[in-house]
Chain A
Amino acid sequence: MTRAKSQRNAPETRYASNWVAAWRRFRRSGLAMFGLVYFIIILFVAVMAPVISPYPYDRVDYGITLQLPTWQHLLGTDYLGRDMLTRLMWGARPMLLVGILTGAVGMVIGVPLGILAGYLGGAFDWFIQRLVDLFSALPWYLLVLYLVMVLSPSVWNLILALSVSSWVGSCRLVRGLTFSAREYDFVEAARALGIPTRQILARHVLPQIAPLLLWGFATSIPGSVFAEAGLSFLGIGIRPPIPSWGQMLGQAGQYWMYYWHVFLFPSLCIVISVLAFQGLADGLRQAIDVNVNV
């Protein structure tokens, strides 16, 4: 299917380089542009949080607990009188770190396994398939419970906990892609010419699937944001010292019905982030202009 599509778009790519054309397609989607702009802004906020946040993130003030938004505290304060805006700004850090690194770790494990499985096929592929089945069936709740008890609370351990299952998705995707890439004429030709497998994979297969990896990576970020929020909601989050949005939402629990701001703002942050990354991923997919059947 990949080939059919790119042929159809041949006229468009004739007058511009692939990248320019991709950017043009990307720009067409409003949601994708929103995702890109959001990503830049949130990255800026996360990096600059210590400078631009109005208060220290852990400054408690018992005089003003659970205050609705005011001019001093634009998004109000939480149950210990901490500034919500500050905490949400700092919360962008674990969100990005967890989202990006979990995706990255998943790629580092999943991509090589997927390529090898898809290209070699046979017994190795069968084995990897079983491993993928195993990890997708493994109850992550139990896994996280285990890690929470065994490890100390930190962002890195949270990433570790989520990475245990995050590689499965990219492995499955890459395997499928390699599988079809193997049938390409030029790959078959390379094989016929006796070029070693390693070279075929690196020179011919990987470049074919690389753009899709970008897409896969972008789609994995909202997944991690969701997962982290869900864990904190269940009360078993691996709890880094820097507040995460999921954590804030989980703690809003008993107050949220009447102090709407402690619930609304973290929820909005999560929803908008997931939306933005989804838009970004969709835009990337349109830019690459292929369909992904996974």
Chain B
Amino acid sequence: MSTRLVGLDFNGDPYPAGCESYRILEDGLTWEFKLRKELTFTDGSPVTAQDWEWTMKRAMGSGYDYAWYYSDIKNASKVSGGQLPAEELGIKAVDDFTLQISTELPTPYLPSVMCWFLVMSKKAYETAGEMYELDPKTFNGSGPWTLVKLDRATGCEWEVNKKYKGVRTVYFEKCHEGPLAGGLAAYMAGETIFYSVGAGTPPGEQAFINTSPILRAETHPVAPYLTDYFGFNTLPGKFAPLDNPDVRLAMCKAIDKATIVAQVGKGFALPAWGMLPKGFPGNNDDVLKELEPNKFDPEAAKQLLSKAGYADGKGFPEFEFWCRGSVSAYAEAVQAAWKDNLGIKVTLKGADYSGFTEQAFGQKAAPIYWVAYQLDYFDPATFLNIWRDGGRHPCEMPEWTAQYNAANSIMDPVKRFEAVKKAEIALVDSTVFFGMDSPFSYTMFPCNLAGPGAMPNRNGFSMGTGGGSVIEAYQHLHWSNSICRDALKGK
């Protein structure tokens, strides 16, 4: 309930939220944000550039667990890694209402990155301490809502901030979050105002929704914003023969992606041919799906494997296949495909989120791993940045990293997208990973819910209800006096 420096609109495009405008300076590395002078904290003091600067520096300098997300900012990795003091971070307040952020490399998508940058009140922090935002008495936010009650058992209550003068329009007067019953029944009874229909929705329920004209009208498509994939630990010698590209290609070609996704996804998932989901800016499915790793061909896979010295999987080590969270049905399908088509056996291991991050990625202890990645903003960089060296995955690709960084830094959008597409092709061809699926869903909200958030965007998706949790829900919605739901309640 704080102000973001940059917001994302319903199309996923960045717009100035905490600032009036932003522009890039001549050096091509520095972004200047002109802040909104009318924005205040709830205590009445203005939101200044110093607050923004202090917020970022404090976080990055004190072991911030999400610091990787801002690694494009100048000296970010060194500051978060403790090699440089926080003062060296590439963010500075030029005057009270001008903020400059400089980057390591030209970063055309920087404004979008800043959609997660929320300002804290330096004054409140210094007077009321680190926890000022968690106590209604000391709460000092800058967003359209203020905290009224915080209860760890039953949830929080928020009220409209009457002093808010920002660009966001808010219709709801009060907001309560807390444990709610799920299910279509609760939605129909009006207990919850959103219901998601996806692969997990029982077909009986889907059929029921289809037979009710009201419920059907309340169903709106949501864009896929997540890619499920598995990757190999390709570090030389660590888990031989996974460091052999031929072996990995064989393991990719043994998987009938289209069939598996159709069956396991139950019509609520698209095959992922690369990292960027379908409908996402820069998506290159038509080219990617023709690449060798994406072509299902068990015979060719067998030959590749025997060429590598493991005919019929003989002598192939039995690797652990780590899954983040619990074991996914897709991972089971992959396990079966490798056994049937190549004679390779793997053991599935479900590891909880925190342990997985440390073991599989931090310690690089997982030979094969199953994870998902979800967008943070609407630019190819959100999905591809994580493949740069020194990031998340247990693989080393200096050449690819250089190619991608060069492509990503091109300021001309058309040329940049072309170059980034080439980088994604190279990534898929390297077989360090294998994209499996991008699930999508339909969201339902009551027909008497109105406002810009309820309208479809330029791609036909309703984003006001979350849109991959990036776009702020609630604020763009209000209740209309429509009686369209009365018939439903009578049921």
Contacts and interface: CB of A to CB of B under 8 A. Distances in A.
A254 B320 contact: no
B336 A153 contact: no
A258 B348 contact: no
Nearest to B336: A60
A156 interface: no
Given A79-B264, A258-B204, A258-B205, A236 B352 contact: yes
Contacts of B29: none
A238 to B, nearest CB: 9
Given A62-B259, A65-B263, A258-B204, A152 B333 contact: no
A181 to B, nearest CB: 46
A65 B332 CA distance: 14
A80 interface: yes
A58 B325 contact: no
Interface string A133-161: 00000000000010011001110000000
Contacts of A251: 329
Q: Which of B204, B340, B350 has the most CB of A within 10 A?
A: B350
Interface in B156-186: none
Interface SS majority for chain A? loop
B355 interface: yes
B333 A80 contact: yes
B200 A254 contact: yes
B329 A79 contact: yes
A235 B326 contact: yes
A294 interface: no
A257 B335 CA distance: 27
A272 to B, nearest CB: 26
B339 interface: yes
B211 interface: no
A62 B332 CA distance: 13
Interface string B335-359: 1100110000101111110010001
What bracket does the count of chain B residues touching chain A fall in? 20 to 34
Given A80-B333, A255-B202, A258-B203, A236 B260 contact: no
Interface string A42-76: 00000000000000001110100100000000000
A147 to B, nearest CB: 12
A237 interface: yes
A241 interface: yes
A239 B346 CA distance: 12
Given A80-B329, A255-B202, A258-B205, A62 B263 contact: yes
A251 B329 CA distance: 8
Contacts of B336: 58-60, 80
A58 B340 CA distance: 9
Nearest to B325: A235
A144 B191 CA distance: 37
B410 interface: no
B327 interface: yes
Interface string B225-240: 0000000000000000
Contacts of B355: 145, 149
Nearest to B198: A254
B204 A239 contact: no
B332 A80 contact: yes
Contacts of B335: 58
Contacts of B320: 152-153
A250 B340 CA distance: 25
Contact of A241 (B326, B347, B352): B347
B164 to A, nearest CB: 40
Q: Which of B199, B259, B352 has the most CB of A within 10 A?
A: B352
A111 B205 CA distance: 53
Contacts of B256: 62
Interface string A269-282: 00000000000000
Contact of B204 (A154, A254, A257): A257
Contact of B347 (A60, A153, A236, A259): A153
Nearest to A232: B326
A81 B262 CA distance: 13
A237 B347 CA distance: 13
Nearest to B329: A79
A239 B350 contact: yes
Interface in B247-296: 256, 259-260, 262-264
A179 to B, nearest CB: 42
B144 to A, nearest CB: 36
Interface in A233-258: 235-237, 239, 241, 250-251, 254-255, 257-258
Contacts of A60: 333, 336, 340
Contacts of A62: 256, 259-260, 262-263
Contacts of B199: 254
A291 B205 CA distance: 52
A62 to B, nearest CB: 4
A220 to B, nearest CB: 26
Nearest to A256: B202
A145 B200 contact: no
Contacts of A80: 263-264, 329, 332-333, 336
A81 B259 CA distance: 12
Contact of A239 (B264, B327, B329): B327
Contacts of B327: 239
A286 to B, nearest CB: 42
Contacts of B326: 235-236, 250
The 8 closest A-B pairs by CB, nearest first: A235-B326, A258-B202, A254-B200, A258-B204, A62-B263, A60-B336, A149-B355, A153-B349
21 contacts: A59-B336, A62-B256, A62-B259, A79-B264, A79-B329, A80-B263, A81-B263, A148-B350, A152-B320, A153-B320, A153-B347, A236-B326, A237-B350, A239-B350, A241-B348, A250-B326, A251-B329, A254-B199, A254-B200, A257-B205, A258-B202
Given A60-B333, A148-B351, 14 more contacts: A58-B336, A59-B340, A80-B263, A80-B336, A145-B355, A149-B359, A236-B350, A237-B350, A239-B349, A241-B348, A250-B326, A258-B202, A258-B205, A259-B202
